[in-house]
Structure 1
């Protein structure tokens, strides 16, 4: 297996010379080959805040507030001082007045101006299903202004201030559903069947609608193995297809004999999609691993597309995932998760692969300008820009030993990389043999615990 090969090669390398003490904060399975020498690691986080259940996180337009989905509800976090993030308010028991009880599994939210959309449950769960809109103009006292019950679970969403765009995967056609939050009515929907009714021949597990982002008149949908699609939502009651960005063909997916492996391993698994401010650059992140520990799968990265002409998307580059000693679901998972494209930068989270920042002003040549990783204590759900910093949500969703919460990091300057000092004091990126050995040990420990 590759894990044993890596262990052997690292043991051989360490036998040839003394191994220095690894830094306490970077704990990678990385030999530095994937990053140019001198790329800043950024040192320690600026600050942390423990927050049970942390999942998705979005920031306010001024970057001073983080809104966090916490499974049981939401939390508002003050990050005016990035070195001292503090809890402002929490709201739980959403839709508690429903006959089905409060909403469970709240994993996603979306902000537009001073309105915060919250949806759930993300996965099959008891309790009420639906959405809630909060007025967050006063950060310390968010007030519910709208609540709508739905007949579907909702994993992800987006919001334009009036219309909520939700993933409705409890329904057989896995549609996008648009809800008018002023009236509580569903005003429109779209599914792959609208493009070609023969998509019904493909296993629903290969074509769930996992994510949606809306900018202006366009919606961007991540349909797992069925790929990423762009829609015209200028009239939410009459949604139309603009283009398909990527994904396996309908015929190929209909012929898949083992959907369980297909939906967990590359090349499919379009998991998260977003665009930059002017919607000319699109990023698609895949979520994948090695299902059977047979070397056939592994983590996925983030592909960047030029969509200045949305009817003719052009692939520009792919940001590869951080390396791992154990690419299985229960190992050291370093696949892409949620991210943000803004101001010529890509802020990304990679579960136990840490957080990274890339300069994408030239998107065909993304350049890493920051990375931080501690696979033993962190598993990041998302990375989002704040004011003078960027933030990441640390989640225990995949590992109950993780202490969930909010991390703040220095926002690196976009320019030539500056040389930093590693743990042993030598100039470099701080990712040496000792750190790699530590991460391999972590992977072996998790494997043993799993078995």
Structure 2
């Protein structure tokens, strides 16, 4: 890729700008979670991409899937969008924010443990990339790139595929399916319309678009491609006959309860939605009929597919749901298993043995602190739409987990039994975005439509009480040290930057000092003594994206000591790199930013120096540190990346602070 010519890529995904030295204090040890890819199957194993990793399940007994592991020690360079199997090799299409992209090739010689054996990223010479779909037929891979078109790859040599055909007449690849010599693709146009294309691939060296049709973009959320028919689902069910690719014709349309996925099993069609499975008779595609709706735990379905083990639904709530179809008209729940780490984790908190994840789609996920294997979950009783269930932040204290739910407020869960968290209480505070708990006090703030900072009494968790509040601007992050809360704000609804709030009288919190050289501040870390603050700055007064070091020993007059503009991404984004979050250990700051996790030497606060970047392939929105010294970088759909210090490093062995 062109940008790789100016960045030296080191082992384990660590990079430094060419010509500079890097003193790295961390090395990657694991990755997991993230957006779900289309699944793939090889023998008795099921593979699903989550973020930049491939997960494997042994499905020899489909009613009891066994998790085999993930490629966390060697993640792909970016989030995986689609998988395909050819022979004993798994091909994973990935893209890193449209700037770089390619295919990671895994050997399935040991099918339980896919092994990365090659990277293929020179299928096109372009400034921008968008591989979103991949499908296999024989020894050919069809790769759909939303920026550059359709590419046909010959995989006769599995680890060194080559382009043998292409067409730039098509850019819609959210879904792809091949039947004989016809390839169907579907996706959104640049104007937002949903399209379906038929491509003649009888000669793979010369794929030819036969025709296309525009689906009703106002009612169709996704198109499912089957043999001879494209099925649009959303608020309507639309059926298009694709047998004649040059004359794709709508043959049926009706309003339905919303569905965002579909699975066709011969003459039966399952429409997958939040409320369960709609079972349709599809024997006559021009006149399908609804038979029944079967309840199923399919809220927020992200992927739906036919597999040899049964119809599979992968949800945004970390659930994999396998249907039993002994009687296709009466599907049953054959198995339900968890997607480890989570589809979209926003933040985490830790105790000595567990990791607690703020999960975007439902509430709290509890994992083993060492392996990140799922142990338990708390599904918040909130309205059935994702915005209401968006968990922005989490704090764990005294055997309780406190969640900042953007669509509701504060949720309190008892985690004394991590395998079975139980809600203790809640406090309504819409747009809650940052939270920290200390004993009977919870400090919480909001961002949307102007910020509010509140102090809550949770001595009776069943009935939290507001003690005091002040207006802020847009509080993206906060932390508390002793009698002071440190808030960082954006300036869209007032003064941005650092606010220091005296909370010694919780009924009357008061701003005692401000430092406003960063009008758009995203993250904060404060030393245990409260005398030094580190601010992750999106844009300071010079429009730089920077890490700031601020002397807060005088709370009334915080003083900017030093600032470092984070390097961007050569060659075209050298001056752009928003800082989002920061954690400091000893003399090193770990800064989550647009392009990864940066290490910054802050031993001289007046002159911080950049050391190295850990590439994550997606924006790091949150950084947290576990008690054993591991550093977690959260990229939401890109997954969670875990780094560890050198064995025996005394600085990192002092436990989790804050």
Per the normalisation by structure 1, the TM-score is: 0.47
Flag the structure with higher strand content: 2
Higher share of residues assigned helix: 1
Tell me which of the two structures has the higher relative contact order, counting C-alpha pairs closer than 8 angstroms and 6 or more residues apart: 1
TM-score, normalization by structure 2: 0.33
